[in-house]
Structure 1
Amino acid sequence: MEQEHFFQCPYCWEEISMILDSSVRQQTYIEDCEVCCNPIEISPTFEEAALIGFNAQSIEQ
């Protein structure tokens, strides 16, 4: 099951959205910001298809 989630990009601070797959309980992956194209590490957590945790952070140290 897919759902759209809105959040702020950790690079350009613009509000963006991504489609999240709630069929996988916990996941981490890299996706580019649709505004500034920088890579963001996305870590959503689901419980019974409900989003219970979400983290979006830059991959630069």
Structure 2
Amino acid sequence: MQNTADFFCAYCGEPNTTFVDFSAGGQQSYVEDCQVCCRPNILYVRIDEETLEIEIDSEYEG
């Protein structure tokens, strides 16, 4: 099962949308480039197992 969620770029602050793979577990981290400024963001994804609500924090890579 996949769903989308939004995060704000750690560099430029612009909103981005990413796909979240629920089968990868309740806590995930991966690098995704900003769709606006193309800089890499480390995304920390948390999925509430009961409500399936998605929270994403982003930070600079490097």
Same-fold status (TM-score > 0.5):
yes
The match for 1:10 is 10
TM-score (normalised: structure 1): 0.79
Cα deviation, residue 5, structure 1 = 0.8
Q: Identity, % of aligned pairs?
A: 33
Structure 2 unmatched ranges of 5 or more: none
TM-score (normalised: structure 2): 0.78
CA contact (8 A) 1:4 1:17 kept: yes
Aligned residue pair count: 60
One-letter amino acid of the counterpart of residue 21, structure 1:
D
Cα deviation, residue 52, structure 1 = 4.9
CA contact (8 A) 2:8 2:14 kept: yes
CA contact (8 A) 1:22 1:51 kept: no
Does 1:26 pair with 2:27? yes
One-letter amino acid of the counterpart of residue 34, structure 2:
C
Cα deviation, residue 46, structure 1 = 1.4
**More helix per residue:** 2
Whole-Å Cα distance in 2 between the matches of residues 51 and 21 of structure 1?
Answer: 13
Cα deviation, residue 28, structure 1 = 0.9
CA contact (8 A) 2:31 2:43 kept: yes
Structure 1 unmatched ranges of 5 or more: none
